[in-house]
Amino acid sequence: MFRHLGMKALLAFTLLFFAFIYVPIALIVVYSFNADPVNMMRWSGFTLDWYRQIFGLRNAASEAALYIETTEQLLAAVKNSFIVAFSTTALSTVLGTSAAMALYRHPFAGQRFYRVLLFVPMLMPDIVLGIALLIFFVGAGAQLGLGTIITGQTTFLTSYVFIVVSARLAGMDRSLEQASADLGASEWTTFRRILLPQLMPGILGGALLAFIISMDDLVITYFISGTNTQTLPIYIFGMLRRGIKPEVNALAVMMLVFSFAIAFAGLYLRNRKR
């Protein structure tokens, strides 16, 4: 009897747990279509105006309430975010994958050092890496901007790729590689035909993770982006500090949709690979 009640309570608690995670997200989605320009949480009809406003389209509210600073500013931030995310993903995927392969294939003396080195950025609070990079870049006379953001993000994204690819390597069947070598395949052929195809899901997974984290990074980018270069998270952070406008709602919802779409794509890829 009591056990039964306990089970019910546990189930109710778990449902509340999920409600806590998802009700806020549902709220913002619903209210991003709210027509009220003054109070975003008082429902006064359905509108797509805030979405239109983001893209700089004309809408009913634009005469009465011109909120958004400039669409160009937002689009520039989006563009910067994509430039940074693609560059850092490419760089960190190459660096992280080569590090993982080196540590897996060749036993050598400094392995422990490399493992620690590649774990450091993950265990370090973001803000510490952010300010260390700021001091370094300013001291080196670098112009803060896209270049410094890409370099700075790559230092910690490499670790993420390294960990994902290493996990894949650890679970791989080495006998295939040996068989290929025994059958007379050259090292390059073995790498291309045997190792790389097996490793690909790990590399893709690592790259996807790096891409998502890069798009979302706020703390480290905040310190090394300088005053003239904004990425999307920095732009939103600035908007929140200046005062909230209904367009942010719509923008937030579009970002949620985008990141969830990537997550779903990743899941789909993983399931298909099995």
Partner 1 sequence: MSTLRSRKRQQLALLLGPVTLFLGVFLLLPLAIMVVYSFLMPGLYGGVEWSYYPHNYGRILGFADPEFEVFDPVYLSIFARSVKIALITVALTLLVCYPAAFQIAALPDRWKNFALFLITLPFFASLIVRLFIWVLILRPTGFINLTLEELGLIDAPLDLLYTEGAVILGMVYIYIPFMFLPLYASVEKLDWTLIRASQDLGAGPFDTFRRIILPLTLPGIAGGCIIVFIPALGNFIVPAVLGGAKSMMLGNLIEQQFLAARNWPFGSALAMLVMAVVLLLLYFAIRQERADPAGSGRA
Query: Which one of 60, 240, 268, 270 is in contact with partner 1 (CB under 8 A)?
Result: 240
Per the CB < 8 A criterion, the answer to whether 167 and 101 are in contact is no
Site string for partner 1, 25-54 (x = CB under 8 A): x-xx--x-------xxxx------------
Q: Give the shortest CB-72-to-partner 1 separation in angstroms.
A: 21
| Cα separation values, 262 from 32, 127, 214, 233, 273, Å | 21, 27, 13, 17, 17
* Of residues 160-199, those binding partner 1 (CB under 8 A): none
User: Judged by CB, which is closer to partner 1: 61, or 209?
Assistant: 209
Site string for partner 1, 54-93 (x = CB under 8 A): ----------------------------------------
> What secondary structure does DSSP assign to 156-190, as a single string?
HHHHHHHHHHHHHHHTS-HHHHHHHHHTT--HHHH
19 lines the binding site for partner 1 (CB under 8 A):
no
* Size of site (CB under 8 A) for partner 1: 75
Per the CB < 8 A criterion, the answer to whether 118 and 162 are in contact is yes
Query: Which one of 73, 176, 216, 226 is in contact with partner 1 (CB under 8 A)?
Result: 216
Query: Which one of 53, 93, 155, 180 is in contact with partner 1 (CB under 8 A)?
Result: 155
CB atoms within 10 A of CB 269: 13
CB atoms within 10 A of CB 130: 20
